[in-house]
Amino acid sequence: MSKELLLQQADVDALQNEEEEKEQTPMKDIDAEMQCPRCYDMMILSSDFDKLGYFCQEYNLSLFIN
């Protein structure tokens, strides 16, 4: 193979490795608490089997993360 093809293949391999690492790393941008849009009190991070969301005890409000 030529040097250009080897370099292109190395670039493709590097991109695939980066994508795999992104899929394997957990989400780090999730805060443990956020402010409730209704009462401005703090909502607590909670989980419902396979969904993550925030829960406000005052209004019994749940906001789920996609």
CA 39, CA 57: separation in Å to the nearest integer?
Answer: 10
Tokens of 9: 């293949």
pLDDT, the chain, mean: 76
Find the domain containing 44 and state its range. Answer: 3-65
> pLDDT of 14-25, one tens digit each?
767 677 766 655
CA 20, CA 6: separation in Å to the nearest integer?
Answer: 21
Domain count across the chain = 1
* Percent of the chain surpassing pLDDT 70: 65
Three-state secondary structure along the chain?
CCHHHHHHHHHHHHHHHHHHHHHHCCCCCCCCEEECCCCCCEEEEEEECCEEEEEECCCCEEEEEC
- 60, pLDDT greater than 70: yes
pTM over 0.85: no
- 47, pLDDT greater than 70: yes
